[in-house]
Amino acid sequence: MRWIAYGLLALLGALTVLLHHGAATAKTADPQLSAIASELAGRQVTIRCEGLSGALIGARGESGRTEFIGDKPVSVSYLREGICQTLHAYARSHKDCLLPCRRPLDVAWSLNTLAHESVHLAGIRNEARTECAALRVIGFVARNLGASPAQADALAAYSITELPRRMPPEYSSAACPS
Ligand SMILES: [Zn+2]
């Protein structure tokens, strides 16, 4: 009977690995945000969400991350779970106000985070250049989440006014036109 026990153990082990893999994939890859990032990056990329529910910023002060190998970005970026949740809540919202009726700063921060990581995925590594380009595509991201042209313009202008001073100095550059 011992071989049956070993066989069952091996089967259980395989099932556990499969289940964990399935759960992780279902939980973290975000098709809607990946599609927006792919448009901006000009290639097929994946956005995954990680961390605690509701958290816009992780323990190391980051809202998103994209790794580079040499000067080439990988094809996956990670956003904090709260960034993904805020973007999806904005996409689902009624949008009765010009700026988001609820938590406009959180929405602007989250749009910017997706835009910023997408610019990294397009191949730009320098943080100031990346953020400069990201602020220019906030409206595009907002439009893709259901904002009207006027709402997208308002969110872009609000982001350019409110966000840079809330970031570390290396994210800003005098060369970026405001
Ligand atoms: Zn960055």
For the stretch 29-70, pLDDT in tens is 999 999 999 999 999 999 999 999 999 999 888 999 999 999
Q: How confident is the model at residue 12 (pLDDT cuts 50, 70, 90)?
A: low
Q: How far is the CA of 79 from the centre of ligand 1 (A)?
A: 11
Separation of 3 CA from ligand 1 center, angstroms?
Answer: 53
How close is the Cα of 67 to the center of ligand 1, in Å? 9
Give the pLDDT of residue 174.
84
Structure tokens at 28: 């973290």
- What is the three-class DSSP state of 8? helix
- The pLDDT value given to residue 24: 45
How far, in Å, from the CA of 137 to the mean position of ligand 1?
15
| Alpha carbon of 162 to ligand 1 centroid (Å) | 18
Per-residue burial over 64-85, b = 16 or more CB atoms within 10 Å of its CB, e = otherwise: bebeeeeeebeebbbbbbbbbb
Phi–psi pair at 45, nearest 5 degrees: -130, 165
Which residues hold their Cβ within 5 A of ligand 1, which is an ion? 127
Other beta carbons within 10 angstroms of residue 107's beta carbon come to: 24
178 or 78: which leads in pLDDT: 78
Q: In this structure, which long-range contacts are made by residues 165-168, counting pairs with CB atoms below 8 Å and at least 24 apart in sequence?
A: 166/109, 167/131
pLDDT given at position 7: 58
Strand partners, 50: 80
| CA 102 to ligand 1 centroid distance, Å | 26
Flag whether pLDDT at 22 surpasses 70.
no
